[in-house]
Chains A and B, each alone.
Chain A
Amino acid sequence: MKKNILVKKIMFYIILVIIWQAISMSDIWPNNIFPSPYEVGEDLAYMIADGSLFFGIGTTLMRLIIGLAIAIAGGVTLGIFMAKIETVNQTIGSLVLGLQSIPSIAWVPLALLWVGPYDGGIIFVTVIGAMFAVTINTYTGVKNIDPHYVEAARNMGAKGTQLIANVLIPAAFPYMISGFKQGWAFAWRGVIGAELLFSFLGVGFLLNVGRQIHDVSQVIAIMFVIMLIGMAVDGFIFKKIENKVMSRWGLR
């Protein structure tokens, strides 16, 4: 069954590349506008060979990881406060919902003016983009905790930070993990978008360079890289964590 699906997928992509190759050979568009898969692959190989691709990926991932770590730490803290203190929810909570509706790319001008066109500015956009999704999911998770868990834990002597670390966070974790997933997705969009506009190293920067030198095959090659990294993080990191949590709880 599973093998069957894999065969289908591989067949699909092979056919897709063949169609792509056929269109590029048909002379509907000139090659510098619609490059062939081979040319895209060639560009990718160049970028790998001269190291620019890995340097770009490394730079972007460094920004992403720092940004996401700050967003998760901040979002979890804020979410717990919102869930536990009603006044915080009624005040800051409403602001969080509002801020969440701003696309992270809209923070770029402010980041440029406040922090400047450096790593810090890009990380700022990443943090802002990811944090509120983490906050909202943590809030929902903590609100949905079976009150008996907290009562039992308090009865057994847990209080304060002990209660937060040993009960609130693990009990809310199934919700929090979807917050992290959303947060990562927003962070990934945010970091690439910011890099495009800041034009200061990273994968988004390479994309912009491709546009500036009218190298369509480089643009497409970088887009492939962005897609592959996205799929890898979703499929390996988050899927693994999620499966582990769900199987512990017996939800899967």
Chain B
Amino acid sequence: MTKLETKGIVKFFKHESHQLTALGGVDLNVEDGDFVCLVGPSGCGKSTFLRIIAGLEQPDEGQVLFDGKPVTSTGPERIMVFQEGALFPWLKVQDNVEFGLKMAGIPKDERAQISQRYLDMMQLTKFSNSFIYQLSTGMKQRVAIARALVMDPDVLLMDEPFAALDAQTRDLLLVEMQLIWEKTKKTILFVTHNVAEAAVLGTKVAVFSNRPSKIKKLIPVDFKRPRLTEDENLLGIQQEILSELRPEVKKSK
């Protein structure tokens, strides 16, 4: 069943005095429960595409359909996880995780119950009373993911959430992310510039072309999970992604 559909998304950008077309008509169909990784040359607008789906930006042309209905603004069914986490430094970890529940007017006791479940899932229980600056980058991303999952969204939109992590922490989170996806059955759109990451996580990998970007190829990835970055089976997929990506990166230079 189609969960999310984008039809001919176009987005212009002002660069100095002239106008650039960042997104040149992006069509994408995301099935319920898909884990779609978006890769593309830097500056191709894949993050903007994600922001448009979140409703944080409006497309200049085209539209986003969620369950068949057009998206016009942000909504709790589409939750974004930002690259730097965008966690609130004035709140403790637990209060960060409960933020959306508080906004929804859910009483304190109930909030604590719900957040506890996700703090456990993300192995954050020990840190629930910490402030954000006390956490490592990896811990911060765990909090950001927990804060998003608490909202119980249909779609999780992740904008290079692991870009700033060291290799070991990333490997750990790549495995956990797969477990979370299997456990929660969320539909996930995941922007990354890391081809190995895309191959490990995705059920599909969408390769963006250079500007004006479209989706050049949608590559299905069918291997059993949990997959590891060093899986030899994935090398073929990585090569396939790279062979699509390389000419686009060259064009963008």
Contact = CB atoms under 8 A, between A and B. Distances in A.
B179 interface: no
A146 interface: yes
Contacts of B84: 148
Given A157-B100, A157-B103, A171 B80 contact: no
B89 A151 contact: no
A1 to B, nearest CB: 26
Contacts of B56: 151, 154-155
B151 A156 contact: yes
Nearest to B87: A152
Interface stretch (A134-142, A162-170, A186-194, A200-208): A162-170
A167 B91 CA distance: 10
Q: Which of A152, A154, A166, A248 has the most CB of B within 10 A?
A: A152
B23 interface: no
A155 B90 contact: no
Interface stretch (B14-22, B127-135, B214-222, B237-245): B127-135
A149 B82 CA distance: 10
Given A152-B86, A248-B90, A249-B89, A166 B103 contact: yes
B200 interface: no
A152 B82 contact: yes
A156 B79 contact: yes
Q: Is the interface of A mostly helix, strand, loop or mixed?
A: helix
Contacts, number: 64
B252 to A, nearest CB: 25
* Chain B interface size range: 20 to 34
B132 A250 contact: yes
B205 to A, nearest CB: 25
B76 to A, nearest CB: 5
Given A151-B56, A171-B90, A250-B89, A157 B134 contact: no
Interface string B96-115: 00011011100000000000
Contact of A155 (B74, B102, B133): B74
A155 B79 contact: yes
A196 interface: no
B88 A170 contact: yes
A249 B133 contact: yes
A157 B76 contact: yes
Nearest to A250: B133
Nearest to A152: B86
Q: Which of B86, B91, B131 has the most CB of A within 10 A?
A: B86
B85 to A, nearest CB: 8
B181 to A, nearest CB: 20
Given A152-B86, A156-B99, A157-B151, 12 more contacts: A148-B82, A151-B82, A152-B82, A155-B78, A156-B76, A156-B100, A157-B103, A162-B103, A166-B102, A249-B89, A249-B131, A250-B132
7 contacts: A151-B74, A155-B56, A157-B151, A170-B90, A249-B131, A250-B132, A250-B133
Interface of B: 54-56, 74, 76, 78-80, 82, 84, 86, 88-91, 99-100, 102-104, 131-134, 147, 151
Interface of A: 146, 148-149, 151-158, 162, 166-167, 170-171, 173, 245, 248-250
